[in-house]
A and B are shown apart, each in its own frame.
Chain A
Amino acid sequence: MKRLVILGGGTAGTMVANKLRASLPAHELHITVVDRDDAHHYQPGYLFMPFGIYNTSDIVRSRHRFLADGVDLVLTEIDRVDAAYKTVHLADGRTLGYDYLVIASGVAPRPDATPGMQGALWGNKIHEFYSLPGAQALTEAMRRFRGGRLVVHITEMPIKCPVAPMEFTFLADDWLRKHGIRERTDVTYVTPLDGAFTKPVASRELATALVDRQIALETDFAVEQIDNDTSELVSFDGRRIGFDLLVTVPLNMGADYVARSGLGDELNLVPCDQHTMVSLEHPDIYVLGDAGTLQTSKAGSVAHFAVDVFVHNFIDEFNGRPATHGFDGHANCFIESGNRKGMLLDFNYTTEPFTGNFPMPVVGPFKLLKETRLNHIGKLAFRWIYWNMLLPGRPIPMIPTAMSLAGKRVEQDVTPSGTGMPTAVAPSSPPPPPRPARPKLETKPLASARPAKPSAAPPQARPAPVAAASTRPAVDSTATDVLPTPIIPKF
């Protein structure tokens, strides 16, 4: 009998456990899930709490109730993974040996990472909604708010659910209007990105939505600290933005045990293959959900699609067949836009979000990147779908694992041009190449999207200075059509 240990019993860990339990008998694969507590949070619900739409009881369920029979749940803090000895050390002193390990411990907000965030104003004028206590405290703060400067702020990318701060802004605008204090409130959206969102078409549509609501947009803002004396956000380039209520999304980082185990990058994210979610360093470790380095949104929908791919491959390899599925980076996110409307984004590694109809051309019924009542209903339905279909591992109706272009209004001229680097590894799909059979446990992943990496240095130490890059002479382009003058980017 083989042993699978799943670290984290949140969205991804629960789905993996349930899907594999349904496909592989317990006498062939023993499945253990480790999490620190028995409270599973429906995190998308945090967004709605400050506006009184959901309360705590809508959001929290018992973790074990969502795990299939035949899955062991161990409730304790994970202390460390010893990948060489295939052992997980738990904080209570127990150890768990494994043949396969799934890292699904997600990311969490780290307000302590920004100087001044948890200063005197924390919980008073400075709030966040990426944790349950944070969303609860913000609910109170919204009730007390009487107008002034409301600033919604993203500390640094990546964050899970990158549209959530925008949704918060739209909902706040709507809420302030309904409470008659919108006139007395300046709303500012502050982002480290160079636009309202990451991808051009979505950025354009969302920027328009901000303008329509008279919400100011402050871009390229890399926060250095929060000045608690003057109630200001301060950027590295010296800009200052004052607030009466700051709703920030703190830095999101993977779990500390990832760093202690030497498995993570500078954000404690575990580098993994873009299509197979296999750890780049350890072929018996898989990374699912927010915990890894997939270059797509960190979202429940992404976790769902990626888990689908992983489970197919895992079962095939477990049974000695080659694994043939590859993940395309598919993300499908409803954006709540206030006034009981919503928008919808659907994209993957290579196709940015476009306007159009979803999932079917013309008839939809959902509209991509347009505000409609039905999109809002889709968003609210997601909570039911999450508990009743997603976690138990059932397919979501109408939404395929791989993204489809059907119904999308593809705009060629706006495709981001800054991503090409042929020697490197901008994920290429769809459809991703099938992965050759991988003998279990012995070898490196064969079709890694990236070469094995040299460094994931522990973030603490200041390393030795980097030597001058290789002395190998640079090669010239072989192109024959050469423009006489360089193209200089706009900065």
Chain B
Amino acid sequence: MPTTLIAGRPIDVNDEGFLTAYDQWDEKLGAELAHLIGIEMTDAHWGPIRFLRADFPGRGETATLRRASTVGGFPIKELFELFPLKPAKKMAYIAGLPKPKGCV
């Protein structure tokens, strides 16, 4: 697993670029990750990202869009507007969490 410099800090990522250590993330880093994929964070963006961060430790899995919508209260349509095209994957990337599993 590689380590890369992001926002001036050494960060562990996987081969695809997703963070691998929950503890290395903070909101400043999240904003930089968003910037790297062309998203400028607003309050509307932070809501679901904070939900994903808070939801992860207890479950060990990144929340799906359905979970973000039914448990977190963020309508899926809105998530598509905030994080266009691949919201689940983009949100996970920005939140420094594993890519949601396609399920098996």
A residues whose Cβ falls under 8 Å from a Cβ of B: 156-158, 162, 193-195, 198-199, 220, 222, 224, 236-237, 265-267, 271, 295-297, 331, 417-426, 449-455, 457, 459, 462-463, 465-469, 472-477, 479, 481-491
Contact = CB atoms under 8 A, between A and B. Distances in A.
Contacts of B70: 266, 459
B98 A418 contact: yes
B3 A479 contact: yes
Interface of B: 1-6, 9-27, 29, 36-37, 46-47, 50-51, 53-61, 64-67, 70-73, 76-77, 80, 84-86, 89-90, 93, 97-99, 101-104
A194 B101 contact: no
Chain B facing A: main interface SS: mixed
26 contacts: A195-B102, A199-B104, A220-B85, A222-B65, A236-B76, A266-B70, A417-B16, A418-B18, A420-B14, A421-B20, A421-B98, A449-B60, A453-B59, A465-B47, A466-B54, A466-B72, A467-B50, A468-B50, A469-B27, A474-B24, A475-B21, A483-B3, A486-B17, A486-B36, A489-B16, A489-B99
Contacts of B86: 220, 491
Contact of B51 (A421, A466, A479, A489): A466
Given A453-B58, A482-B3, A422 B20 contact: yes
Nearest to B54: A466
A267 B70 CA distance: 9
Given A220-B86, A265-B67, A491-B89, A194 B21 contact: no
Contacts of B85: 220, 237, 491
A232 to B, nearest CB: 17
A469 B20 contact: no
A2 B76 CA distance: 46
A421 B22 contact: yes
A401 to B, nearest CB: 18
Nearest to A251: B66
A224 B73 CA distance: 16
A222 B98 contact: no
